Structure 1
Amino acid sequence: MAPSALLRAAAGALRRRGRFATSLPAISPLSHTPTSSPSPSLDPFLNPTARRHLITLSRRPCLLPPSSTSAVASSYYFERILLPASFAHPFSTSSRSTDEDKDKEKEDILPSPPPLMSASWVDKWLPEAARPYAMLARLDKPIGAWLLGWPCMWSITMAAVPGQLPDLKMLALFGCGTVLLRGAGCTVNDLLDRDIDPKVERTKSRPFASGALTPTQGVCFLGSQLLLGLGILLQLNDFSRVLGASSLLLVFSYPLMKRFTFWPQAFLGLTFNWGALLGWAAIKGSLDPAVVLPLYTAGICWTLVYDTIYAHQDKEDDLKVGVKSTALRFGDLTKQWISAFGAASVCGFALSGYNAELAWPYYPLLAAAAAQLAWQISTVDISDRTDCNMKFVSNKWFGALVFWGIVFGRLAS
């Protein structure tokens, strides 16, 4: 079919579809001026053969430019010039590119979807009914259990017989107790903070804040955690039982401290490092102040370092809600403050190891732990939530370095 016939056929199709209010005259392919009306033999709406040929051409894909082959050339002209999908002007050859530009502009205006969060093992493996309780106990975030457990492991290992490994059964027992006590502490914290958590970006998805659990369900879950913890505590000696039970006062009071003082991180240090006393007592049946007090103090100073870094994630929300923290107390002087606490922590560890008569392998590993702590303090960006969280989580390696220093120092003594 000649191009002139195609032009006339396209004009007839447009006229039939009602694209224009007025009728279109016939178009000359050379001069683009009106010509006489098309003959019935060439009009596709009057000639069945021409209509079938036009439909066939319109359905062909147009991937190549016009060539010497008349069928391909006709399809190209019909698809790209005469009947594009949408156009501003009936015969504008730039209509399709204009639409593509508009689509790109819309893509630029629309916000990109948020990145998908990687699912934790809680979402992958636990039944749906158990997931809120696991989230309440922070089983998906084991860093808290590590930070609570390391002081216990330190003191148990320091109390070991010189030249021998620590009591593995006691390490396992305290490991289980750490997970339970940390979960109980998180449950208490969320119960007391259920009016605050929905207002803080980082905590608004917690079980009570999101409505996944009711306070009554939380209290029942807390009772089961404490009951299991009691079962572990009863396996220790009498002195350790009393000492361990007394830590519950700190566990229940810590979540309230941020409402009254800028030093809730200090109270967290008193709570999280109670194991430095309890671990020694579980092995020895008493306390040696020369060893456990410097160790306990070192742990408190260490907690002030990592939890102040952690608190900088929420400082804007804390100001809105009206709660307090060392991050707000120290402000722009945070690095100076936590540097002092870090130095005091390392000195406390050194004094405790010296009084416990640990051998020389303890001190190189303590120096490595001090370097790790110095790296945290010197490189942390307190205005970057992601960096603060990353430095906070890295403290599990600080605790591991101190632990292995104590192990090798005790074996070599």
Structure 2
Amino acid sequence: MVVQMIPMLCIYPLLKRTTRWPQIWLGFTINIGYVWSWLSIGDLSLFSFPLYTNLYMMGALWCWTMVYDTIYGCQDEEDDMTIGVRSTPMSIGSVIPASIFFAVVMVGLVFAAGVTSFHRETYFVFCIGGSSVFFIWKFATLDLNSEHSCWSFFIHNAFYLGFIVYVGLLVDYIRIIVGWY
């Protein structure tokens, strides 16, 4: 699967020279592993709940990439303009409202995935509550004029938000294995 991602990853830098929306491609490229994993083990029937669940999760992952990579791009905005590289932050102007929109959609899609896959309270507390608190904290403390703040937002998405969602899935899985209903 990783080998198949290489051409997709090679296209991304070229898109930064030809379009103002390279993050759209990056969202698909970075998260394609999720799709391949699902296709290798999942139920592919059109109207099954796993299909909808996985479409919701893929949409959530794409929105998440749009959030963190758009903020990440803000730290390079001046340099990008100087050398002619295009990016989403330069295209949308007001980055915060657009990023908040994608964050809200991401949380909503993770919620929808939880509902369609019959997760219980533990999933929603960690994944939805934790993600919401995380985004409120990060957007409240974000300074787009500070490279450090943009970098912190990016890194915390990887290490904190990813971990929060992972813990929510893990705790809910353990709940099922142990038989806590």
TM-score between the two structures when normalised by the length of structure 2: 0.86
Give the distance between the partners of 1:391 and 1:351, measured in 2 at CA: 25
Structure 2 residue 109 is the aligned partner of structure 1 residue 348: yes
Give the distance between the partners of 2:141 and 2:39, measured in 1 at CA: 38
1:214-239 Cα deviation digits (max 9, x unpaired): xxxxxxxxxxxx4xxxxxxxxxxxxx
Aligned residue in 2 for 1:400: 163
Q: 2:16 aligns with which of 242, 258, 265?
A: 258
> Does the 8 Å contact 1:359/1:410 carry over to 2?
no
| Change in 2 beyond 3 A, CA 1:411/1:282 | farther
Greater RCO structure (CA 8 Å; 6+ sep)? 2
The one-letter code of the counterpart of 2:40 is: A
Q: Which runs of 5+ in 2 are unaligned?
A: 177-181
Counting only pairs closer than 5 Å after superposition, residues 144-155 of structure 1 correspond to structure 2 as none
| Change in 2 beyond 3 A, CA 1:282/1:407 | farther
1:147-194 Cα deviation digits (max 9, x unpaired): xxxxxxxxxxxxxxxxxxxxxxxxxxxxxx7xxx4xxxxxxxxxxxxx
Count of residue pairs brought into register by the alignment:
170
1:4-31 Cα deviation digits (max 9, x unpaired): xxxxxxxxxxxxxxxxxxxxxxxxxxxx
Partner of 2:101: helix, strand, or coil?
helix
Give the distance between the partners of 2:116 and 2:173, measured in 1 at CA: 12
> Does the 8 Å contact 1:335/1:378 carry over to 2?
no
Q: 1:275 aligns with which of 27, 33, 51?
A: 33
Give the distance between the partners of 1:372 and 1:289, measured in 2 at CA: 28
Give the distance between the partners of 2:136 and 2:36, measured in 1 at CA: 28
Structure 2 residue 66 is the aligned partner of structure 1 residue 304: yes
Counting only pairs closer than 5 Å after superposition, residues 340-379 of structure 1 correspond to structure 2 as 340-366=101-127, 367-379=129-141
Q: Which runs of 5+ in 1 are unaligned?
A: 1-176, 182-225, 227-244
1:254-284 Cα deviation digits (max 9, x unpaired): 2211111111111111111112212223333
> Does the 8 Å contact 2:31/2:58 carry over to 1?
yes
1:285 Cα deviation after fit? 6.7
The one-letter code of the counterpart of 2:35 is: L
| Change in 2 beyond 3 A, CA 1:299/1:249 | same
> Does the 8 Å contact 2:71/2:154 carry over to 1?
yes
1:308 Cα deviation after fit? 0.9
Partner of 1:412: helix, strand, or coil?
helix
Structure with greater helix share of residues: 2
1:92-120 Cα deviation digits (max 9, x unpaired): xxxxxxxxxxxxxxxxxxxxxxxxxxxxx
> Does the 8 Å contact 1:262/1:328 carry over to 2?
yes
Give the distance between the partners of 1:370 and 1:282, measured in 2 at CA: 31
Give the distance between the partners of 1:329 and 1:401, measured in 2 at CA: 31
The one-letter code of the counterpart of 2:23 is: Q
The one-letter code of the counterpart of 1:390 is: S
1:343 Cα deviation after fit? 0.2
1:249 Cα deviation after fit? 4.3
% same residue:
29
| Cα RMSD for the two superposed structures | 1.8
1:61-107 Cα deviation digits (max 9, x unpaired): xxxxxxxxxxxxxxxxxxxxxxxxxxxxxxxxxxxxxxxxxxxxxxx
